[in-house]
Structure 1
Amino acid sequence: MEYSKIISVTGLGGLFELLSSKGDGAIVRSLEDKSTRFVSSRVHNFSHLESIEIFTVRDNVNLADVFLAMQKDATPLPGEKDNAAVKKYFETVYPDMDFERVYTSDMKKMVKWLSILTANNIDIKAPQPEEEEIVDSEDQQEAEAVKAAAPGEAAPQKSEKKKEVTKEEEAKPAPKAKAAPKKAETTKEEEAVPKKKATPKKKAKE
């Protein structure tokens, strides 16, 4: 039986193994009396134990972390009906718990649930953090360069694979565009020369 399949159901005491899900509910099996039943999602809510978190004075922790701390501690589990004993137990076993936001009724549930899990020999496992995506080596180098940049300095821009311009090429003047051929202009000397008059044609002899 896997810890990831263990759920609690509102309105029903104890813990259940989720056998199958349906559109309007789920088929579950009780970990205490082993009975199987259909539970309607219109009436009840389901909570996977691995998704439950507990308030602490720091960041929230997963319920599995509290269970593991309870298993590791040699202090015997208190009676579920003794409120003072339950609170004193968690103050010893898990002192970082936020006792102003975690009610005694919640602590009683944790004691009962751990007893049920232990009786069914269920291996409690804390959820593993999601694996980080593999980052391209070039992008990773740029990300590290951005982190290393001093405050106020511009982050290095992404390198582009362009042809580098050498100093010699920079020193060369840019080639000038060829000028379009101009039309021949009339010089002042040509304008000063008078044009020859056409020779009058001789009249034909009669």
Structure 2
Amino acid sequence: MEYNKLVAVSGLSGLFELISSKNDGAIVRSLNDKTTKFASSRIHQFSHLESIEIYTIRENVNLVDVFTVMKADTTPLPDVKDDKAVRAYFQKVYADMDFDRVYVSDMKKIVKWFDLLQKNNIEIKLTQAEEAETGEPEVAEETEAAPAKKKPAAKAKEEKETISEEEGTGKKEKAPAKKAAAKKAAKKKED
């Protein structure tokens, strides 16, 4: 099982492996009891663990960073039923966390999820980091290295839009409107 296939499903406790996605939901397998079920997108929302970020006093960090620090620390996991113990644990282990915006309920989920990942021997790392280690280019690098070519429709739209020079307002006008304004001005000069 890979970390990038794990999702949290609203309304259902625990973590799930995404088996297959469909237009109206997804088939997921629970990490708790290994049962497979269909979760409707009309009722549930799906959050990939890779996309979850945590508020800190600096910049937001990915959940993987918090899990990595938790794994490296020797402090035992707190009892999730004790709010003060959970908060004290994160103040010791990850002091940069913004405790005004990260609620105790969120911290409890992090502890539960981390425990599930440990029990299921899932390696905690992002897909992009894995690609960088293997030497394969990341998606972001590809877009920067190869400039995007203009599409004909975009080029035609650029040609149609011009900046209004008569008014000096900087508003965009369509080329036919500008031509009509120029004809009107020329007609006034003739009169």
Query: TM-score normalised to the size of structure 2?
Result: 0.69
Listed one character per residue, the Cα deviations across residues 128-162 of structure 1 (whole Å, up to 9, x for unaligned) are: 374423379xxxxxxxxxxxxxxxxxxxxxxxxxx
- The percent of aligned pairs where both chains have the same amino acid is 65
Provide the residue aligned with 2:52 in structure 1. 52
d(CA) in 2 for partners of 1:134, 1:50: 25
Alignment check: 8 A CA contact 2:3 2:126 kept: no
- Report the equivalent of 2:116: 116
More helix by share: 2
Which sections of structure 1, spanning at least 5 residues, go unmatched?
137-206
- Indicate the residue corresponding to 2:81 in structure 1: 81
CA distance in 1, matches of 2:34, 2:40: 19
The residue aligned with 1:67 is: 67
The structure that has the greater radius of gyration is 1
Tell me the distance in 2 between the aligned counterparts of 1:107 and 1:29: 23
Could you say which residue in structure 2 is the equivalent of 1:189? none
Unaligned runs of 5+ residues in structure 2 are 130-137, 148-191
Aligned counterparts, 1:130-141, within 5 A: 130=138, 131-132=140-141, 133-134=144-145
1:153 corresponds in structure 2 to none
Match of 1:126 in 2: 126
Q: For 2:58 and 2:64, locate their aligned partners in 1 and report how far apart those are by CA, in whole Å.
A: 17
Query: Residues 127 and 102 of structure 1: is their aligned pair in 2 closer, same or farther, counting only changes over 3 Å?
Result: farther
Structure 1 residue 127: Cα displacement: 4.8
- Calculate the TM-score normalised by the size of structure 1: 0.64
Task: Report Cα offsets for 1:59-83 as digits up to 9, x if no partner.
Answer: 0000010000000001110001000
